[in-house]
Amino acid sequence: MASGTQLPVDDGHALPPEGERRRDFLHVASASVAAVGAGAVVWPLVNQMNPSADVLALASIDLDLSAIQPGQAIKTSWRGKPVFARHLTPAEIEAANKVDVASLRDPQSLADRTKPGNAQWLITLGVCTHLGCVPLGAGQGESRGDFGGYFCPCHGSHYDTAGRIRKGPAPLNLNVPDYVFKTPTSVTIG
Amino acid sequence: MVRLGALAVGLFFCIAVLWGAVQPRDAVPVDPVKEAHQYPEKITWSHNGPGNLGILGTFDRGQLQRGFQVYKEVCSACHGISLVAFRDLSALGYNEAEIKAIAAEYEVPSIDENGEPSTRKATAADKFPPRYANEVAARAAQNGANPPDLSLMTKARPDGTNYVRSLLLGYRDEVPASLKASAPEGLWYNPWFHSVFIAMPPPIAADGQVTYTDGSPQTKDQYAEDVAAFLTWTAEPKLEARKETGVAAVLFLLVMTGFGFLSYRRVWADIKGKKAKA
Amino acid sequence: MSFPWARQYQPTTEFGKFMDSRLPLPRFVYGALGAGYPTPKNLNYFYNFGVLAGVALVIQIITGVVLGMHYAADTRVAFDSVEHIMRDVNGGWMLRYMHAVGASFFFGVVYVHIFRGLYYGSYKPPREVLWMLGLVIFLLMMATAFMGYVLVWGQMSFWGAAVITGLFSALPIVGEAIQTWLLGGFSPDNATLNRFFSLHYLLPFVIFGVIILHVWALHIPGSNNPTGVDVKGPQDTVPFHPYYTAKDFFGLGVYLTIFAAVVFFIPNSLGEPDNYIPANPLSTPAHIVPEWYFWPFYAILRAFTVDFFFIPAKLMGVLAMFAAILLLFFLPWLDTSPVRSNAYRPLNRALFWVFLVVCLVLGVAGGKPAEEPWVRLSQIFTAYYFAHFLIITPLVSRFEKTLPLPSSISEAVLAKYGNGPSSSPGTGVGGAAPQPAE
């Protein structure tokens, strides 16, 4: 403890001699270790803002499709956003398949947007790709727009029965989330 | 002036407090509860690591699963662990399907399609539902007692892990003579409880009460130890991460301090060096 | 700053020159904590604790701000939101333990800092304002720590809030009204929790501001030193950087190592288990105690057990507790000895150690239930606490015979190592080192 007081006599000016290279390595090493430590401390401070375990636990949901009749759709919520699950009628599937994919603004076929063997189940985010409004068309009696799919009332974007943008300002088709079929009538989204 | 004022204030406080010090004290009768009360017996835990010091150590997964089984079959009749989520059970070594199955055994509050309150099966994301809706319901069902939630029990009592084990094994038939007169009706004598009379009937009553599948001894001792370990996990699920991080942090800081010391010596060398020569 | 031989900041780069003529922040730092601050060259390790206290505050502010991103100040969910941090937030358990343990370490460091000031007479002229600003920081820390402890909304939080605000109810006439005003109700509840959260978030920044004043006031006369003798010339000082930055970096390493060991291995050892029980207004814990750093003052509060003439015992306790801190503001005028350091005041030095022991015993007594022998011990030691500052110190400073002072810091250092000129100031110089054994 007393080393702090073990001081000498007459060297008051005590300015560190310039250009003494020998001592540099140690100080660089000390500063480097301190910098690494500071970096290690910063990570938890940043990471604490990432989604917490309880939020992540709700990042995937199970959705039961069995109650949806052909022609109907349901709205549910996933990661705080609306999801539309729609049971397409054969006529709607045919209408979607008839369209020339190359002519579309965001060229995708119905098969690209559904799971193999489950073309009747169209599951998309209910978020207009224009400015993020929730399109109409999933609820009973709501307008489905000029193409029988969804219609966004904010700026008049029309989506077809495959949820593809056909008219209006939206640049892209309605987003299809990642999902897998657990049983023929239930899916896990996310 | 300041010092005269200080003298006056000082005398004022000193006389006032010493006046209290010279008052005769009432003889304090020996408190039979204090006499009978026992401190938890310390035993060795795997999560306390080498030397039972608590610095290192990991949970014994098999023990946690057995403890969870004891909790489910015995404690959960009256006590909740409502801060624990089913998804947390993955830390005990259960896989996703097993957790889903465990969660499905529980009902949690929900709203049906008519907007009426109802219940649904719990999912992995849910927490264990509380055993009682509120304290009043608990007391009504439990003869006036309120079984506490156990999520944090081992942190909410001094030496909590040992306390839980000692308490569970601490029921005694022989009430000391000094306490016989004051023994409350309907309570159980347990010198490890703070007031030595506890409303909880002995939960672990006999060897073989819970059937283990991993071949561990099915004794009261084993049950108490397992459930105490499980409740240590519920109270501090991040215990292992904490200790691992701690070892890394302390080792790193020791290195940093070592470099700091050498730097310090080097900086002061031109001043202290002369002393060495002297 | 005020020494003529202090090195002047000289910007070397174009950018440095550009800034220096517009916002001379580098010049300011250079003069405050850099090579431009001449510091006595005989400071011992006890002089590290000022910087450590600053670091402890920064740790509290950083961890506190991120905890505030997850905490919810509502009585229905406050306790659960803390457990949410402990269980679900990424690394939340570490941040929360750092904040809780950090509060204890902050107080520990500040107590060492205060006792160092007492031992070496750092409160004496010309550093009275520096000392008083330090006491203001200490008071703000106590308020901040108390309110932060309430935020957890455990049993000890709730009953601590009830007891501490209840102190004000001891005041005659206006007491009840003040307590109700503090709580925003008739018992600690949502209004209390919300205002405590708001103030707990605010006060650390106020502390930070007062620390800037504290450092400013330090730089006018410059640092005191273990001899208490004024700096006479350049031979007595070294530039703060690199000499004391290097020493402080080493001290910081030691501090952080101990801090990390407690945070990661025994994080709950400094807290009360009762605070892991959610607050219950209908059930009081068997033994209400504040955190350890309040124990000495809690002992003083409880030491007054009988009414004193027309003053009720409760009011006496409250007055004494506040007086115990406030009297420190008058210390520079109570201790009038011209000699600063206890190294040259044998009698006062002995009394310093007595006082330290008294504070430690009061601390232990404050953490115990109000039973004998602790009550009587608290009473006797409380009497000494007041007598020490208000009666003994003024008398000693007037009548004691001090040892001859060295004529300068350099000479004291020489004498200590016996290799200097023969004008040795005497054996007492050895006391410059703070070991009690001497």
Q: Cα separation of B2 and A170, whole Å?
A: 81
**What interhelical angle do B61-73 and B220-235 show, nearest 10?**
100
A27 and A88 part of one domain: no
Residue A3 belongs to a domain: no
Task: Answer whether A23 sits within 8 Å of B275, measured CB to CB.
Answer: no
Contact in structure between C406 and C229 (CB atoms under 8 Å):
yes
Q: Cα separation of A2 and C45, whole Å?
A: 8
A43 and A133 part of one domain: no
3-state SS record for chain B: CHHHHHHHHHHHHHHHHHHHHCCCCCCCCCCHHHHHCCCCCCCCCHHHCHHHCCCCCCCCHHHHHHHHHHHHHCHHHCCCCCCCEHHHHHHHCCCHHHHHHHHHCCEEEEECCCCCEEEEECCCCCECCCCCCCHHHHHHHCCCCCCCCCCCHHHHCCCHHHHHHHHHCCCCCCCCHHHHCCCCCCCEECCCCCCCEECCCCCCCCCCCCCCCCCCCCCHHHHHHHHHHHHHHHHCCCHHHHHHHHHHHHHHHHHHHHHHHHHHHHHHHHHHHHHHHC
Whole-number average pLDDT of chain C: 92
How many A/B residue pairs have CB atoms within 8 Å?
58
H-type helices in C184-244, by residue range?
190-219
Task: Answer whether C433 sits within 8 Å of A16, measured CB to CB.
Answer: no
Nearest Cβ partner of A26 from B85, B253, B266? B266
pTM of the model: 0.89
- For C4-51, what is each residue's pLDDT tens digit? 899 999 998 999 999 999 999 999 999 988 999 999 999 999 999 999
- For C231-255, what is each residue's pLDDT tens digit? 999 999 999 999 999 999 999 999 9
**Chain B, window 111-130: residues with a beta carbon less than 8 angstroms from a chain A beta carbon:** 123-125
Q: Please check whether residue C92 touches A, CB under 8 A.
A: yes
Q: Which residue has the higher pLDDT, C416 or C384?
A: C384
Contact in structure between C238 and C36 (CB atoms under 8 Å):
no
Q: Residue B30: its pLDDT value, please? A: 86
Query: A26: closest CA among B200, C249, C197, B155?
Result: C249
**Which chain A residues are within 8 Å of B259, Cβ to Cβ?**
26, 29-30, 33
Q: Which of A1, A5, A49, A50 to mutate to test the interface with C (most CBs of C within 10 A)?
A: A5
- Structural domain boundaries, residue B265: 239-271
Task: Answer whether A54 sits within 8 Å of C88, measured CB to CB.
Answer: yes
B248 and B165 part of one domain: no
Each residue of A85-120: b (16+ CB within 10 Å) or e? bbbbbeebbebbeebeeeebeeebebeebbeeeebb
CATH (domain of A124) = 2.102.10.10
Name the closest residue on chain A to residue B276, using Cα atoms.
Answer: A8
Nearest Cβ partner of A9 from C70, C84, C410? C410
Annotated catalytic residues of C are: 219, 223, 247-248, 291
Nearest Cβ partner of A33 from B259, B270, B278? B259
- For C198-211, what is each residue's pLDDT tens digit? 999 999 999 999 99
Q: What is the dihedral of CA C347, C353, C358, C360, to 10 degrees?
A: 170
Number of structural domains, chain A?
2
Q: Which of C8, C67, C89, C411 to mutate to test the interface with A (most CBs of A within 10 A)?
A: C89
Nearest Cβ partner of A6 from B123, B125, B275? B275
Residue C22 belongs to a domain: no
Q: Residue A23: its pLDDT value, please? A: 54
Question: B264 is written with which tokens?
Answer: 């310090």
Q: Please check whether residue A26 touches C, CB under 8 A.
A: no
Residue A2 belongs to a domain: no
Q: Residue C421: its pLDDT value, please? A: 42
Q: Cα separation of A159 and A166, whole Å?
A: 6
Q: Residue C430: its pLDDT value, please? A: 38
Secondary structure letter of residue C390 according to DSSP: I
Q: Which of A5, A33, A79 to mutate to test the interface with B (most CBs of B within 10 A)?
A: A33
Name the closest residue on chain A to residue B261, using Cα atoms.
Answer: A30
- Structural domain boundaries, residue A38: 9-47
Q: Please check whether residue B130 touches C, CB under 8 A.
A: no
- For C281-340, what is each residue's pLDDT tens digit? 998 998 899 999 999 999 999 999 999 989 999 999 999 999 999 999 999 999 999 999
**Which chain B residues are within 8 Å of A17, Cβ to Cβ?**
270
Q: Please check whether residue A16 touches B, CB under 8 A.
A: yes
Residue C15 belongs to a domain: no
Q: Please check whether residue B23 touches C, CB under 8 A.
A: yes
Residue B160 belongs to a domain: yes
Number of structural domains, chain B?
2
What ipTM score was computed for the predicted complex, to two decimals? 0.93
- Is residue A21 scored above 60 in pLDDT? no
Residue B25 belongs to a domain: no
Kindly list the partner chains of chain C, i.e. chains with 3 or more CB atom pairs below 8 Å: A, B
Q: Residue C436: its pLDDT value, please? A: 40
**Which chain C residues are within 8 Å of B243, Cβ to Cβ?**
264-265
Residue B178 belongs to a domain: yes
Residue B5 belongs to a domain: no
Return the percentage of chain B with pLDDT > 90, whole number.
73
Residue B210 belongs to a domain: yes
Task: Answer whether C413 sits within 8 Å of A9, measured CB to CB.
Answer: yes
- Structural domain boundaries, residue C82: 41-417
SS3 state of residue C226: coil
A89 and A159 part of one domain: yes
CATH (domain of C339) = 1.20.810.10
A123 and A171 part of one domain: yes
- Residues shown for chain A: 190
B135 and B261 part of one domain: no
B228 and B248 part of one domain: no
Task: Answer whether C87 sits within 8 Å of B246, measured CB to CB.
Answer: no
Pairing of strands B107-111, B117-121: antiparallel
Q: Residue C417: its pLDDT value, please? A: 63
Q: Residue C76: its pLDDT value, please? A: 94
Q: What's the gap in Å between the CA of A48 and the closest CA on chain B?
A: 15
A97 and A14 part of one domain: no
- Residues shown for chain C: 438
Q: How far is residue C233 from each of residues B111, C35, C54, C196, C230, measured CA to CA in Å? A: 81, 16, 29, 49, 9
- For C381-391, what is each residue's pLDDT tens digit? 999 999 999 99
Pairing of strands C237-239, C38-40: antiparallel
Q: Residue A9: its pLDDT value, please? A: 39
pLDDT class of C438 with cuts at 50, 70, 90: very low
Residue A4 belongs to a domain: no
Question: A168 is written with which tokens?
Answer: 């209006």
pLDDT class of A64 with cuts at 50, 70, 90: confident
A33 and A91 part of one domain: no
A80 and A33 part of one domain: no
- For C60-97, what is each residue's pLDDT tens digit? 999 999 999 999 999 999 999 999 999 999 999 999 99
Task: State the Cα angle at C410 between C238 and C36, rounded to 5°.
Answer: 15
Task: Answer whether A14 sits within 8 Å of C45, measured CB to CB.
Answer: no
Task: Answer whether B156 sits within 8 Å of C277, measured CB to CB.
Answer: yes
Nearest Cβ partner of B271 from A7, A36, A53? A7
SS3 state of residue A166: strand
**What interhelical angle do A24-47 and B239-277 show, nearest 10?**
160
**Which chain C residues are within 8 Å of A54, Cβ to Cβ?**
84, 88
Contact in structure between C106 and A59 (CB atoms under 8 Å):
no
B230 and B251 part of one domain: no
Residue B158 belongs to a domain: yes
Residue A152 belongs to a domain: yes
B243 and B225 part of one domain: no
**Which chain B residues are within 8 Å of C372, Cβ to Cβ?**
25, 28
Number of structural domains, chain C?
1
A114 and A83 part of one domain: yes
Name the closest residue on chain C to residue A14, using Cα atoms.
Answer: C238
Name the closest residue on chain A to residue C45, using Cα atoms.
Answer: A4
Q: Please check whether residue A103 touches B, CB under 8 A.
A: no
Contact in structure between A144 and A150 (CB atoms under 8 Å):
yes
Task: Please state, as a whole number, how many other Cβ atoms lie within 10 Å of the Cβ of residue C310.
Answer: 7
Q: Cα separation of C332 and C217, whole Å?
A: 15
Secondary structure letter of residue A73 according to DSSP: E
Q: Please check whether residue A77 touches B, CB under 8 A.
A: no
Name the closest residue on chain A to residue B274, using Cα atoms.
Answer: A8
Residue A158 belongs to a domain: yes
Q: Please check whether residue B275 touches A, CB under 8 A.
A: yes
Residue A91 belongs to a domain: yes
B228 and B138 part of one domain: yes
Q: Which residue has the higher pLDDT, A119 or C118?
A: C118
Residue B1 belongs to a domain: no
Kindly list the partner chains of chain A, i.e. chains with 3 or more CB atom pairs below 8 Å: B, C
**Chain C, window 52-81: residues with a beta carbon less than 8 angstroms from a chain B beta carbon:** 80
Task: Answer whether A37 sits within 8 Å of B87, measured CB to CB.
Answer: no
Q: What's the gap in Å between the CA of A170 and the closest CA on chain C?
A: 35
Q: Residue C372: its pLDDT value, please? A: 84
CATH (domain of B138) = 1.10.760.10
B177 and B74 part of one domain: yes
- Is residue A20 scored above 80 in pLDDT? no
Residue C5 belongs to a domain: no
Nearest Cβ partner of A30 from B252, B259, B270? B259
Residue C110 belongs to a domain: yes
Catalytic residue selected from A13, A27, A130, A155: A155
B230 and B180 part of one domain: yes
**Chain B, window 178-197: residues with a beta carbon less than 8 angstroms from a chain C beta carbon:** 194
A16 and A108 part of one domain: no
B148 and B175 part of one domain: yes
**A22 phi, psi to nearest 5 deg:** -55, -35
B69 and B181 part of one domain: yes
pLDDT class of C429 with cuts at 50, 70, 90: very low
Q: Which of C86, C88, C90, C410 to mutate to test the interface with A (most CBs of A within 10 A)?
A: C90
Task: Answer whether C390 sits within 8 Å of B17, measured CB to CB.
Answer: no
A141 and A80 part of one domain: yes
Q: What's the gap in Å between the CA of A133 and the closest CA on chain C?
A: 28
Span A135-151, average pLDDT: 88
A70 and A133 part of one domain: yes
Return the residue matching tokens 């100080």: A27
- Is residue A3 scored above 80 in pLDDT? no
**Chain C, window 179-238: residues with a beta carbon less than 8 angstroms from a chain B beta carbon:** 238
- Is residue B219 scored above 90 in pLDDT? yes
**Which chain B residues are within 8 Å of A23, Cβ to Cβ?**
266-267, 269
Residue B278 belongs to a domain: no
Q: What's the gap in Å between the CA of A103 and the closest CA on chain B?
A: 43
Residue A92 belongs to a domain: yes
